[in-house]
A and B are shown apart, each in its own frame.
Chain A
Amino acid sequence: MSDGSAFKSASEEVAALMRELTQIREVLRDISNRVGQIERHVKRAFTIPAKDKSKPIRQQSANAGGVMKPQITSADALREFDELVSVCRDHGPETIINRLNAKDHSELRVIAVELGLPAGSKVSRKQLTSSIAGRVRESLLLSTNRNVTEPRSASATSRTPEEAKKEE
């Protein structure tokens, strides 16, 4: 109303309409966000159920590219691995290399497959032995750690009164 008229000018009308449109756009954006939220919630709530983990699934087969039928099962392979870990802990890594060298190629492949190692038909005996030995070392390392410091509370409580007096 800069020209003294009782009514709004065209440009003022445009500005007012623009303000209203902005407000409507914000409302629509809110509604769109809300609808999006509902849509996401519905998708997540009624999604196709995950595959049943208890169902037997196709395992990576040791005989996939295979030549010879392995003589041991998956359970045997894991049992053998546990024994290798125990032997390595007690007698050192050379012993397990000897033990692995005494095994058939097909047996080594089954063990390698069970441990998630590459075990295709082109993988050599030496590679299989070395990678299985690596897993054995990993297993031993996973259960060892050494704290070189003692916590304050532990060192304070582990002293006998006599020891404490001596230190004083």
Chain B
Amino acid sequence: MSQSSVVAALPQYAVGEQIGEGGMGVVYGGVHRQLGRPVAIKRLPHAVAEDPRMSERFEHEARLLARLDHPHIVPVYDYVRQQGEHLLVMERLDGGTVWSRFAGDGLTAQQSCGIVLAALSGLHAAHEAGVLHLDVKPKNLLFTSNGVVKVADFGISQVVSEGATLVTHGGAVLGTPAYIAPEQAMGNALTPAADVYATGTMLYELLCGDLPFERGGGPLAMIQKRVYQDPRPLPNVPEPLAGVVMRSIARDPLARYRNAETFAIDLAGAAGHLFGPDWLVRLNAPVHLAPQVSSSSTRRSLRPVERDTVSLTQQPIRATLVDPVPAARLSGSSTLVPAAQVIRPPSSPWLLWLVAAVTLLAMVVVPFLGSGRGLPEVSLNLADPVQEQGNQLVVTLAGIELANVPRGDTGFVLPGATRWIVGGAVTASADGREFLLVSNQTPWLSLMGTGSALLLLFALAYLESNLRALRRRQTGAAAVVAAVPLGLGLGLAVWLLVSVLLKHEPTVPTALTCGVLGAAAALSASLASRRA
């Protein structure tokens, strides 16, 4: 159907050019002929118009929407169903979208909080009337020419799919996967908490410029992450604001704010704490708040404000993600299937964990097996002269020279530091005749003994720290790369410690084997943690 059918269906309006298009229909500009009032006319997709059940649901939603009268909701002026067309006539807002401002000059944290408070105010009113939005995103928040934020596009997904997320066989998602709540993605029962999730995700993005989940992998992978993974912590945003945002995007709807108003109360309180009780007044943005939200915003906090708040309030944050995910167009529900049918839990990286466990075990076992070349042993206190034949004594640890001394009057007198460095056995060569020089002191008195033990513990702690960061998605490839030298250090520490304690000859092949096994174990564990 063309624009002419719209013109025919709305004779009282002068229908203008198309001003917008999305997965849920096309929007035309228009003017009411008698009143001269500019309007936006939304034409629903044919898939909706041709499906009698969807049509019924849409009519029901339209009646509810028409009753909504809230300063932060785009008002519906008219609804026309004629000749297979479903047309919604709404207020036309020319101030741009939150997304256009966010991607343009950027928004400060106060502006973002103000916008989200306005949106929550409108959403709560809609929820009270029994309407869920289910597609809250920066592009659906519009500004009037006076700067008032209004929520648009209510309830369309409810009409199309009864709230469940639909995907095409090609993997495109109907709707906006970046902001979709896990329960909505899986087609579970929906409550206002689904809109809380989308609004919280939007606020997360407005405050830090990025989404709470890693990018990439396509729309289905995006949904999968939202269903099966916890969001990344909000960077560079102080408490209590960060806590409010993170609670609003909790995976479990029960752990989230139950409705938009409780979210707004906490958000207003956190913003008031960070930006000062009069922050909304200073923001000079028209935001209509419920009395309890307003009082929470102006309540003076006794807690000290963190230092990094200053940079947060002054730096505008800009979008870093330029909507790369292709959205499905609603052209016929027959090609769409519920997302829950195609989303699978991420496969457990058991093979990587198995590789990590086996290589770790091998790394521990190898130094016990390699007992060296069976050289003769000379055991003594290394502070005493070495009484061996020859003119020159060279002491080495896995090829690294520790001492090279000529024969003195009382024998080979090793440098004073040798007794503090050497624990267990090291290789010695007197004029080319090799033997094992074994310290008869406790190995814990030596750098080789205590040093290797501390290196072992440090490498383990560092690795565990990185694995936790990977599990919490606080870091990415950098921690995986860092695992290689850490694993190498771990392997070398295990090799040296076991060699010292067992008084085995420390040899290069065993050291390299342990180092490589340690690196392999650490790398496997890091990759597994990243995927988990």
Partners in one complex: no
A residues touching B (Cβ–Cβ < 8 Å)? Answer: none
Residues of chain B at the chain A interface (Cβ within 8 Å): none
